[in-house]
Amino acid sequence: MVGFVRTAIVVICVASSVLAQSDDTNPNNCPYACQISERYTEGCGWLNWSRCSKYRMKTSICYKPCATTATPPTTTSECTEYPCLMFHDNFDTLDFKVWEHELTAGGGGNWEFQFYTNNRTNSYVRDGVLYIKPTLTADQFGEAFLTSGKLELWGGGPHDTCTGNAFYGCERTGSNANIINPIQSARLRSSRGLNFKYGKVEISAQLPMGDWLWPAIWMLPTYTECGRWPASGEIDIMESRGNRHYYDANGRSVGVDAYGSTLHFGPDYFNNGWSRAHQSWVKETGTYGDEFHTYGVEWDEDAITFSFDGRQTLRVTPGETGFWGFGEFNKTGYENPWKDAPKIAPFDKEFYIILNVAVGGFNYFDDSYNNTAYPKPWTDATASQFWAAKDQWYPTWNPDVRGGEDAALKIDSVKVWKLK
């Protein structure tokens, strides 16, 4: 297995007695007080064996003090009094029993430009905050990798196995026309450790700033019982775009001073009633990237109600005909998959939470929007055009200041209450 000698920078933080390991290419990005030492390690990459020597994969290891005082998130299975805080994570630690990293290059059905890793460069906790930070694939594998490398995410072990092969998500070979996803990022889901039906969710978050970043805090159904997306529903608590000066055709901001909440539901991809259950807001002063705010949803048998800093923002009540009537789906000719279910169906099942930062792709950065600093650099979902315009967008991520964390989605806490 061991093929070539490659350089690795090993970063060792002065730590308390217990050490936990995490990875980071750039010692400056190590989120802990570090001592840096260099040494050579032997090994070959997991990409393409015959190309291993070309890609000097800098595996740097950043040791962080394993906070002995860290409290893992608390989960209460039995509530006796209500409201009952059934789950509380303040990210003293990144609890892998709750948060599973998705591993895929599939691009979420939008041919987004990132692939998702389980790597402490892209997801880590520091001082009680979870960071989801996008980085450049070329920084790890070299620029040539994008057009001539091979990305394989198949893996093998638990939490190391590709989680989504749809849209060529587990394996991609780069070419000039189809480059390998130029961004590495992270997407965490709670389905192994936290699933719930009805209640209240509050997530304190500071949104990433930087062009074409697409952060999301959302929920999907655990069992997909009513059928494939969007038949089993989707609850988007917060979606935003990192661009600082970005407007729709009416001149309304769709950048980092705006965000939206949405429900997705319908019998198939083409019949999705989301536009009836969607609202976006523009901040009067400043942006959502300036500080932490609380994004919430409260959800019961009658309604799904979104909130911002504790104030109600959007309330969706399907009415007596349920979401089928609400979406006017009887004209689709489909049989109603929710017909024998409560009117709140498909939202009458367990859901789990997802936290992620995507980049670019199809759909969300509409061609009609105006990025005033320079035009949207790609058409359709052409990652090569996006990558070729790196000198325009990458500086807006502020990679060289504050550890590049302006571009990170920061999550201070996740709380879930049972209300009855």
Ligand X SMILES: *[C@@H]1O[C@H](CO)[C@@H](O)[C@H](O)[C@H]1NC(C)=O
Asked whether the beta carbons of 13 and 62 are under 8 A apart, the reply is yes
**Cβ-based nearer residue to ligand X, 163 or 204:** 163
Shortest CB 385 distance to ligand X, Å: 18
Strand partners, 152: 171
Tell me the two tokens of residue 379: 């058409």
Shortest CB 44 distance to ligand X, Å: 12
**Cβ-based nearer residue to ligand X, 221 or 322:** 322
Strand partners, 218: 236, 354
User: How far, in Å, CA of 319 to CA of 61, rounded?
Assistant: 55
**Cβ-based nearer residue to ligand X, 103 or 194:** 103
CA 179 vs. chain centroid, Å, equals 21
Asked whether the beta carbons of 89 and 98 are under 8 A apart, the reply is yes
**Cβ-based nearer residue to ligand X, 75 or 321:** 321
User: How far, in Å, CA of 20 to CA of 94, rounded?
Assistant: 11
Residues that bind ligand X (CB under 6 A): 23-25, 48, 50-51, 57-60, 119, 121, 135, 139-140, 150, 173, 321, 325, 330, 370, 372
Shortest CB 61 distance to ligand X, Å: 8
Residue nearest to ligand X (CB): 25
Shortest CB 152 distance to ligand X, Å: 8
Shortest CB 170 distance to ligand X, Å: 13
User: How far, in Å, CA of 132 to CA of 242, rounded?
Assistant: 14
User: How far, in Å, CA of 281 to CA of 264, rounded?
Assistant: 18
Asked whether the beta carbons of 189 and 99 are under 8 A apart, the reply is yes
**Cβ-based nearer residue to ligand X, 135 or 413:** 135
**Cβ-based nearer residue to ligand X, 49 or 223:** 49
Shortest CB 297 distance to ligand X, Å: 27
Tell me the two tokens of residue 202: 């509050």
- Please measure the distance between the N-terminal and C-terminal CA atoms of the chain and give it in whole angstroms: 56
CA atoms within 13 A on the CB side of 221: 20
Shortest CB 370 distance to ligand X, Å: 4
Task: Tell me: cis bond preceding 65? Omega within 30 of 0 counts.
Answer: no
